[in-house]
């Protein structure tokens, strides 16, 4: 395969990854890392470096559109970024210590857990049907998002628990290069009681900052290859822009099924190849 053909194939895969990432709030890295390692045979650390660059592009492409549409909760995103950025720096340092097989197995386990949690998510809870968290009230995190019936209000709960989960999400971002969107969506949707569409869009708003915190560490170690990162970044950016147009009209249940099916398959592949030494 020539360099041009490889670039075209990588860009096409990155486009699909960016499209899925913007729909689910995962970020394109959840597909890019398995794609580069399993299909193209790229070392997982270089795949993570390219993924982090693409995650920044995904956030830039999708976040602005979601904020304009009124889905993203800026107050929640900026507060939780404190935890994810600190965790991302720790995760990037950890990536240089552990083996590639351990990183691959960790990646797979995280994705399997996320898929399982996504399928058992409760319905979105409107404002007034759950207790109001005093920290959320003080920080003015309660909000609303547009729906077919008009603006729908929601309350935020368990802010300290959500902050702790975000610290772990940031660590996984730095270690795995996935933008930690999978864990962020689960944390906001399950633990904090935030509606799924608000969780995914706020995750897209946050992942760029989280990825940037750890991308610098990978760059300093030489794990960011411009020849690999550029087609990945451009493909993910184009896919994420298209994904934002689809999300507004998409059904929440459909998003959950796509979320679970795709990352479930990738999780099994990552674990199998890590255990058998093919990664």
pLDDT at 148: 76
Tokens describing residue 262: 């795709």
pLDDT in tens, 199-218: 877 877 787 777 787 888 88
pLDDT, position 248 = 64
pLDDT at residue number 150: 81
Give residue 175's pLDDT: 81
Question: 127-146 as b/e, with b when 16 or more CB fall inside 10 Å?
Answer: eeeeeebebbeeeebbbbbe
**Residue range 124-144: average pLDDT?**
69
Q: What is the pLDDT of residues 219-256, one digit of tens each?
A: 888 889 988 999 998 888 888 778 777 766 666 667 66
Domain residue spans of the chain: 3-275
């Amino acid at each position: 395969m020539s360099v041009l053909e490889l670039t075209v194939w990588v860009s096409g895969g990155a486009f699909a990854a960016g499209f899925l990432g913007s729909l689910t709030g995962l970020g394109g890295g959840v597909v890019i890392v398995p794609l580069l390692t399993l299909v193209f045979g790229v070392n997982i650390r270089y795949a993570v470096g390219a993924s982090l660059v693409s995650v920044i592009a995904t956030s830039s492409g999708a976040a602005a559109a979601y904020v304009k549409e009124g889905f993203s909760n800026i107050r929640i995103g900026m507060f939780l970024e404190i935890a994810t950025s600190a965790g991302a720096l720790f995760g990037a340092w950890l990536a240089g210590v552990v083996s590639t097989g351990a990183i691959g197995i960790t990646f797979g386990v995280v994705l399997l857990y996320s898929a399982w949690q996504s399928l058992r998510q409760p319905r979105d809870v409107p404002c007034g049907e759950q207790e109001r968290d005093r920290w959320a009230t003080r920080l003015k995190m309660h909000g609303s998002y547009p729906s077919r019936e008009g603006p729908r209000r929601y309350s935020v709960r368990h802010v300290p628990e959500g902050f702790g989960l975000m610290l772990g999400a940031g660590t996984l971002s730095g270690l795995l290069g996935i933008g930690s969107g999978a864990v962020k969506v689960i944390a906001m949707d399950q633990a904090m009681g935030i509606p799924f569409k608000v969780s995914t869009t706020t995750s897209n708003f946050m992942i760029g900052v989280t990825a940037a915190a750890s991308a610098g560490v990978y760059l300093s170690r030489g794990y960011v290859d411009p020849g690999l990162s550029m087609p990945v970044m451009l493909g993910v950016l184009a896919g994420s822009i298209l994904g934002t147009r689809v999300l507004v009209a998409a059904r929440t249940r459909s998003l959950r099924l796509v979320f679970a099916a795709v990352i479930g398959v990738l999780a099994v592949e990552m674990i199998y190849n890590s255990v058998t030494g093919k990664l």
